[in-house]
């Protein structure tokens, strides 16, 4: 058998000479054992990922990372370093909040960030023996020398070109994490951790600032406007497009008048859940007012149109029923706007409002053109749409 990967996956037998001398039944049994072992390992890994993605608060996120992950994969320990300067993490990483969490494996020191940055050159993971690192690096992540694992991997937590944290996985097995090993699965896991952390930070901020809509569970307009400002600034900094969907339930007054306000509320909640399911983790969806929803996406016009069509089709297929079990047809009209944002921060902030206005006008155009459709203004004023 080949050596284990850092994840614990087994490689298929690779010694051709030995294989040729091994009876066929034994070779097949060995291959089947390898496949079954790897399937079990990947299922355990998926279980950890799903818990991270579904974490409702920072405490449960950390419990999965520091509790379930090392138990599932026999790790000596997990250490997480986060940059407390990242906008979405400021509320999570205030000194009072950190003390309340009582998580010694969660670190935010500047020394830790500099040490990790020096190890992960070009944003690549580092694997090796922590005991061979200098004292400053060891203390930044592991504290006292006796707590240092025999081998470890350091994974950058990156969103685009920005690294907001680092994840250490340690093992008592000196051969578990060694230079030259394949790290693609663990790098994918790091991206899941990054997206989940961003999602948890959004949820925590919603709780702290009272920015949720009680009926749908989505963010409200106040929160959406704040996120739009942040995303526009980020788009300017990294020269990325930003897109917005404006979504309105068609003939909603008729639903309320015909079936009653309780059924109307169920329709709002169903559409809200539907929209949330069709966008990516990290995108922002809000109830903007009444029967209107807004979604803030990372991508260009082509990306936004693709998402909009997924939303339109999913709502059209909803099986909402009235009090007698009869299906109530639901459709939405969607306006799309997308821009490559440039200029000064002040100009960019103004453009954020223009994107919302453009998506709103496009939505009303979809209404005029027959409902249950998507529109994007072709000749929007000052349009610099990408795609």
Note the pLDDT tens digit of each residue in 145-168. 557 889 999 999 988 778 889 999
For the residues 221-229, what does the mean pLDDT come to?
A: 89
What's the pLDDT at 179? 83
4 vs 256: CA distance, rounded Å: 60
Place 311 in a pLDDT band, splitting at 50, 70 and 90: very high
Pick the CATH number of 58-197 from 2.120.10.90, 3.30.450.40, 2.120.10.30, 2.40.110.10: 3.30.450.40
Can you give the pLDDT at residue 383? 39
Q: What is the pLDDT of residue 133?
A: 86
Whether pLDDT at 370 is above 90? yes
pLDDT at 211 over 90: no
Percent of the residues in the chain that have a pLDDT greater than 90, as a whole number: 37
Residue 347: strand, helix, or coil: helix
pLDDT, tens digit, for every residue of 154-207? 999 988 778 889 999 999 988 888 887 878 888 889 999 998 988 888 887 777
Pairing of strands 162-171, 77-82: antiparallel
Of 215, 147, 135, 166, residue with least CA distance to 65: 166
CA distance 156 to 125: 6
Q: What is the pLDDT of residue 85?
A: 75
Please tell me the predicted confidence (pLDDT) of residue 287. 96
Provide the terminal-to-terminal Cα distance of the chain, rounded to the nearest Å.
49
The helix or strand, by DSSP H or E, that contains position 30, with its residue range, turns out to be helix 24-53
Beta bridge partners of 287: 293
Mean pLDDT of 248-265: 95
The CATH superfamily holding the domain 210-376 is Reverse transcriptase/Diguanylate cyclase domain (3.30.70.270)
The Cα 77–Cα 359 span in angstroms is 48
- Predicted model pTM: 0.54
CA distance 252 to 331: 9
Strand runs labelled E in the chain: 77-82, 106-107, 126-128, 151-159, 162-171, 241-249, 284-289, 292-298, 332-340, 374-376
Same fold, 58-197 and 210-376: no
Per DSSP, the chain holds a count of helices (H) and strands (E) of 13, 10
Rounded to an integer, the average pLDDT of 262-277 is: 94
Report whether pLDDT(337) > 90: yes
Is the pLDDT confidence value at 386 over 50? Answer: no
Residue 27: pLDDT over 80: no
Q: What is the dihedral of CA 39, 41, 44, 50, to 10 degrees?
A: -70
Integer CA distances (angstroms), 155 to 49, 79, 128, in order? 16, 11, 12
Domain spans of the chain, in order of start: 58-197, 210-376
As annotated, the active-site residues are: 291
How many Cβ atoms from other residues are within 10 Å of residue 187's Cβ? 16
Is residue 387 scored above 60 in pLDDT?
A: no
| pLDDT at 35 exceeding the cut of 70 | no
pLDDT at residue 51 tops 80: yes
Angle among Cα 54, 300, 230 to the nearest 5 degrees reads 60
Report yes or no: 312 and 346 within 8 Å, Cβ to Cβ: no
For residue 36, give both structure tokens: 């079954």
List 80's β-bridge partners, or say none.
106, 167
pLDDT, mean over the chain = 83
């Amino acid at each position: 058998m080949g050596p284990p990967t850092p994840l614990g996956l087994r490689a298929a037998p690779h010694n051709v000479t030995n294989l040729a001398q091994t009876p066929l039944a034994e070779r097949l049994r060995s291959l089947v054992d390898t496949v079954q072992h790897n399937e079990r390992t990947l299922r355990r890994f998926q279980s950890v990922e799903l818990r991270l993605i579904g974490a409702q608060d920072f405490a449960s996120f950390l419990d999965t990372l520091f509790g379930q992950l090392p138990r599932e994969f026999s790790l000596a320990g997990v250490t997480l370093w986060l940059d407390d300067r990242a906008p979405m993490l400021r509320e999570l990483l205030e000194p009072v909040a950190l003390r309340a969490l009582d998580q010694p494996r969660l670190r935010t020191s500047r020394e830790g960030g500099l040490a990790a940055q020096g190890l992960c050159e070009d944003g690549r993971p580092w694997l090796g023996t922590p005991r061979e690192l200098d004292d400053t690096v060891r203390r930044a992540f592991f504290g006292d020398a006796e707590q240092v694992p025999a081998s470890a991997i350091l994974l950058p937590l990156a969103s685009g070109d920005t690294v907001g944290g680092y994840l250490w996985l340690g093992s008592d097995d000196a051969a578990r994490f060694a230079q030259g090993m394949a790290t693609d699965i663990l790098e994918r896991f790091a991206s899941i951790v990054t997206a989940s952390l961003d999602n948890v930070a959004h949820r925590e901020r919603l709780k702290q600032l009272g920015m949720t809509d009680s009926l749908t569970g989505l963010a409200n307009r106040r929160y959406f406007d704040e996120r739009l400002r942040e995303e526009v600034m980020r788009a300017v900094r990294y020269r990325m497009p930003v897109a917005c969907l404006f979504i309105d339930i068609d003939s909603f007054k008729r639903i309320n008048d015909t079936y009653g306000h309780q059924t109307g509320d169920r329709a709002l909640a169903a559409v809200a859940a539907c929209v949330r399911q069709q966008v990516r983790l990290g995108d922002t969806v809000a109830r903007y007012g009444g029967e209107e929803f807004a979604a803030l996406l990372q991508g260009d016009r082509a990306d936004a149109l693709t998402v909009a069509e997924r939303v339109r089709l999913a709502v059209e297929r909803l099986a909402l029923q009235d009090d007698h079990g009869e299906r109530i047809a639901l459709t939405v009209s969607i306006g799309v706007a997308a821009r490559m944002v440039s200029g000064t921060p002040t100009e960019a902030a103004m453009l954020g409002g223009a994107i919302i206005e453009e998506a709103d006008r496009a939505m009303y155009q979809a209404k005029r053109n027959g409902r249950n459709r998507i529109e994007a203004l072709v000749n929007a004023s000052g349009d610099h749409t990408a795609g």
